Amino acid sequence: MPGTGAGGFVGYSHEITPGTFVAATKFVPVTSEGLQYIQDTIWRRPIRQAAAIVGAVAGNSRIEGDLAMECFEDDLAMFLYCARTAVVKSGTTPNFTYTFTASPIAIPPRTMSITVVRNAIVMAYTGVVVGSFNFGIEDGLLTFNPTLLGRDEATQSAPTATWGSTVQDNPYGAGSYQVQIPTASQVFDTDNFVFTVDDSPEAQYRLKDTGRGAQFIAYGENTTSMTVDRDFESRADYDAFKALTAQSITLTATKGVNNSISIVMPAAIKDTYEVGLSGQGDLIRASVAYNGVLDATGNAYTITVKTQQDIT
């Protein structure tokens, strides 16, 4: 029957020439995807003794949507290369360290091609960048959820997905995490977090005769934030919220010496602090939201990825 099949898969690759499709070189386990081709059709309704729509004119188009995936260090590094980050690579084969820091650049330095196969129907998207992303915990599993924005759609023959890499067979689960609030002071009273970076991307269109897709993607204002739920044990942290006290926060997920992900907000200021009176005998919990501000070096966050993936 139409619409049935064995699901699908997502593959990606970095583009040598921005906006030029490159067949998938790596495939990533996703839990959901919502990439779509968006076109801003112009519906003509001139004043001409008719109340109905007269016709349609092709408008600008772009690619946009979300991915939700289990967070693996090698895939993460590949995606962050296409985000608004400055990257420093160190180490030698087989162990590499990638340090991603917030950047003020307006134009993404690297783009990727995304291939989505939905029940054997292939969709290919070009000039894709990471406009925003978040990390979170779902039942102990570390997740990475990027929101993507791209230039256009291409054609692609059905690829053959390859699975079973050592990294992708070993997600970060319970027992992998260390939370430091402030940095260097480990806490054991939080059970979840969501770290979010939003760079307010926007598709840019120009007059051309080479298609309707976006000419490039530009970034806007940046917002770096994090939310955590903690046991409410004293007023000290609450009073720091009232005083707008900045503190550094570090979240680390580790599977081994050379397989880890570390997120640092060097100057986090509490935006909201919610404490409610729960039921009789229940724990008192605090829901705390932080905004990241620039530290003395002009940085709002750092993400350090250790992996055996050699990204050039």
Min mean pLDDT across 5-9, 47-51, 108-112 is at 5-9
pLDDT tens profile 134-156: 999 999 999 999 999 999 999 88
Give the pLDDT mean for 278-293: 86
pLDDT tens profile 247-284: 999 999 999 889 999 999 999 999 999 998 776 767 88
Non-local CB neighbours of 308 within 8 Å, separated by 6+ positions: 74, 94, 95, 96, 167, 258, 259
pLDDT tens profile 18-33: 999 999 999 998 999 9
Q: Could you tell me the sign of the dihedral formed by the alpha carbons of 38, 84, 114, 166, in that order?
A: negative
**Tokens coding 26:** 């790596």
pTM above 0.75, yes or no: yes
- Mean pLDDT score of the chain, rounded to an integer? 92
Longest dimension (CA), the chain: 74
pLDDT tens profile 69-95: 999 999 999 999 999 999 999 999 999
> Which has the closest alpha carbon to 13: 141, 140, 161?
161
Give the pLDDT mean for 197-224: 96
> Is the pLDDT at 5 greater than 60, yes or no?
no
Domain ranges of the chain: 8-39+56-307
Give the pLDDT mean for 27-43: 94
Q: Which pLDDT band, with edges at 50, 70 and 90, does 8 fall under?
A: confident
